[in-house]
Amino acid sequence: MILISRLNYSLISWSQYQIKTTLIIMKKTILMLFAVAIASVNLLAQEQQESNAPKKSPEERADNMTKRMTKELGLNPDQQTKMKALILSREQEREQKSKGAKPDKEKREAEMKAILTPEQFQKLQQIREEEKDKRHERRPSGSNGTPPPPSAPPQK
């Protein structure tokens, strides 16, 4: 009799153990699914928010850039007019570039140099270099996220 009661007890405890472990696994699975659902909803909302951002027209972008250059470089009204026309043509080229056309950078640089004074052009180059450095600081080291290869030691 004692043997039978012990056998029943061990069977009951084993089945209770299986039920408990099954419930734990189910709870973990449900929590993981819930976490994945929340993450995917956040990603979708973020993508939707980025795609809803209004795109500025070339005229608006040219206006903003001209205002910024006037502030930073101290352009006179004649330079403002010429730079706005040049920037507008560049912005229109960018839109065409997205459609397959290539912009002529050298020509644009020569036109800017003709409009600006040497000091203003030098300051523009300096601002461009600073912005380029800032972009490189924000970007990962390598293009695919890997660090760049070490540079060769200097030769004697």
pLDDT tens digits along 7-62: 555 556 777 788 888 999 999 999 999 888 888 888 877 766 665 557 788 888 88
For range 74-87, the mean pLDDT: 89
pLDDT tens digits, 103-154:
677 788 888 888 888 998 899 899 989 988 888 887 765 555 555 555 555 5
Q: What is the pLDDT of residue 144?
A: 53
Alpha carbon distance 123, 137 (integer Å): 21
Q: What is the pLDDT of residue 29?
A: 93
Single-letter code of the amino acid located at 155: Q
Q: What are the distances in angstroms from CA 62 to CA 28, 81, 90?
A: 55, 11, 9
Q: What is the pLDDT of residue 25?
A: 93
Alpha carbon distance 112, 73 (integer Å): 13
Asked whether the CA dihedral 103, 107, 108, 109 is positive or negative, the reply is positive
pTM over 0.85: no
Structure tokens at 73: 């470089």
Alpha carbon distance 87, 59 (integer Å): 9
